[in-house]
Chains A and B, each alone.
Chain A
Amino acid sequence: MKLKKTLTTIALAVATASLGAGSATGSTSLAQSTLRHPLYMPDASHQTASALQPPPICCAPTGPPVAGEPAPVNMAYFGGHVQVTPKIYLVFWGWGETGAFDHSTPGMPTYDPDGAAARMTAFVQAMGGTDWAGVSTQYYETVNGQNVNIQNPSNVFGGVWYDNTNPIHNNVSGLELAQEAQRAVAHFGVVDLDNSQFVIAQPQLYNEAGFNSGAGYCAWHDYTQPQYYPGVQPGISFTNMPYVLNSGSGCGENSVNTDYYAGRLDGFTIVMGHEIEETITDPGAEDVINGVNLGGWYDYSAYENGDKCAWVGYSEGLLPPSVVPGGVNAITGNDGQQYPVQSLWSNDSAGGVGYCAGAGDDLPVTG
């Protein structure tokens, strides 16, 4: 009984951090579940925070990775689908609504004064076909006994929607983000949910409650199931993408480009890229529903391809991260522009032992 109460208490605490306030229904649902929560990307200062680690899979989880280093041990396939031909839909929710930003920049749109939305859009349009995105092509789903590998098409951009119709507010809950993702499904007319994902990006002053609370993460991704997102269409893969510039260097500001303006937006592509690639390889977000594992690829500590390489080499300015193999670095998109990213776990690297790859500074260091 005491154990049950403790678990319920922890679940409620996690519910507060993940789904946030303003959703009694969502909290009740989580309270009835176990320790399940969205899959967080901890910020650079909270990489080992126990509350932000994914729920362990089984027997002997290896514990959180050492800050600034990759998490070893290869990933395994857990039976769920992957996004073979991914399409990424960007939703800028409320960026044009009153009070979304506290500043303006001459010559920049009032709904995007720092250029963050433009940068994120350009990145998604340019990431297809890159070596970085190509890391995921070694992973697959098994359908009728056949392995079907993830593809790396040149165009993974599904579309962009500036939703200024459905009101946003500060401290939105995870459930509200899921509801926005459902509205995006309708807006874009998406029917192939398995290969689609929705990034719900929030403006400077209207962010998700857990991010605002200082829980210690930069973003997370999840998968809508009735148990966790009641009333929302099941099967939607979506990302909670806060305005990470609010967290400064903790979420990657100036992590690759050190000049004041050059590096202000670094975190947006690093963090969003982390979530996008995790969603491609694990769109089911490790959910186990009625004994069926919907998860794709992750290791036995439940770390996905992004988690295992998050903030590698990042010392918040002490050393250039790219001198460390697999460190955060800039890649060249298919538009010829440079985009900061983190590397992604590659089971094939290091002779099959696995390592972080794709950011242009693979083993041995080339970048």
Chain B
Amino acid sequence: MKKIALLVVILAASSAAGIAVASTSSVTITTPKVNSSLAQHHNPYTAVAGTVSFANSAPATSRFYLRRDGCGTTNDNPHLSITSGTDAGDGCGLILDQVGLVGDAAPQATFTDYAASDGMPLALDGTHAINGQVSLSGGQVGLAEVDVTLEALIGGQAVTIGSGSGSALLDPTGTSTPVPFTISPNMALDGSDVQALDLRVTIHGPNVYSGFVALSGASYVDVPSYTASVNKSVSISLDDPTFSSPIPARVSGSTWSVAIPTPAVGKHTIYAESTQGFDTSSPASTTYTVKK
């Protein structure tokens, strides 16, 4: 009961001071001041300004493990996950006997898609290589070639981040043979907010192989990323809390500003909100009066 009362007090205080509470960013309006007034004939434009804070966008790496829920079931569900664990689909997933030529064309039907089930959204760092490994285990001898393609959904559009290959001599005596790979990402995608991610894995090569992709932490892809989105903005809205016609503000460090034509004589409310990636803050607001 006490906690609830305290929360109400905090929310009330935030609202009164024009402070917005948000998960990764927040915004305030410092100009015009609450309940201030200005003369229209002296001020054809109204200066609007405030402060903003965003979560730090530091370089990081997001590791996605290749995982699989089942083996030969209708819901094997190969997928990527940022958490590792024992996979029920480990020890299965790929049964392949192949003797091929070096660089042989990989049959299209042999690829497996691992779509991310968590870890989204992700702020992509496209300036660094994407590394990973696909471990192979089972009865095996020869050279295994692994082709990978990383595809993403960005802005609702499917884009290829990049492709890569790796190869390794299969070790018939070992538990599994890690086949490392490197993907050079499309640098134009640096800073993009990734909505969904898929790793397509194709295994081929001059080998005799009857086995599977080793899971349970043995196969993964490391995607360079930022700890928070680098796409940061502030927008304001005049007398419209729904922001149906948002006006972008100029952000400089921890402050923002914009000038708008002074509205008609009367009382007006300016709303401001900050956006970082897919996260939008609660709006801050200030009410002021325009006089003749």
Interface residues of A (CB under 8 A from B): 105-108, 115, 118, 257-264, 317-318
Contact = CB atoms under 8 A, between A and B. Distances in A.
Interface of B: 108-109, 113, 115, 120-121, 149, 151-153, 155-156, 158, 160, 193, 195-196, 198, 200, 277-278
Nearest to A337: B157
Contacts of B109: 317-318
A259 B158 contact: yes
7 contacts: A106-B193, A107-B121, A108-B156, A260-B113, A260-B200, A261-B158, A262-B151
Contacts of A115: 156
Contacts, number: 48
Contacts of B158: 257, 259-264
Contacts of B196: 105, 261
The CB with the most chain A CB atoms within 10 A, among B121, B149, B156, is that of: B156
Contact of A106 (B108, B149, B278): B278
A106 B115 contact: no
A118 B160 CA distance: 21
A317 B108 contact: yes
A107 B113 contact: no
Given A107-B121, A107-B193, A108-B195, A261 B153 contact: yes
Nearest to B193: A107
Contact of B121 (A106, A260, A261): A106
B63 to A, nearest CB: 19
A7 to B, nearest CB: 37
Contact of B108 (A107, A108, A258, A260): A258
A217 to B, nearest CB: 21
Nearest to B149: A259
B62 to A, nearest CB: 14
A318 B198 CA distance: 21
Given A118-B156, A261-B151, 8 more contacts: A105-B120, A107-B277, A259-B200, A260-B113, A262-B151, A262-B158, A264-B158, A317-B108
A260 B198 contact: yes
A264 B157 CA distance: 11
B200 to A, nearest CB: 6
A8 to B, nearest CB: 36
The CB with the most chain A CB atoms within 10 A, among B121, B155, B195, is that of: B195
Contact of B195 (A106, A118, A257, A260): A106
Contacts of B278: 106-107
B159 to A, nearest CB: 8
Contacts of A317: 108-109
B160 A259 contact: yes
Contacts of B152: 261
Contacts of B149: 259
Nearest to A262: B158
Contacts of A257: 158
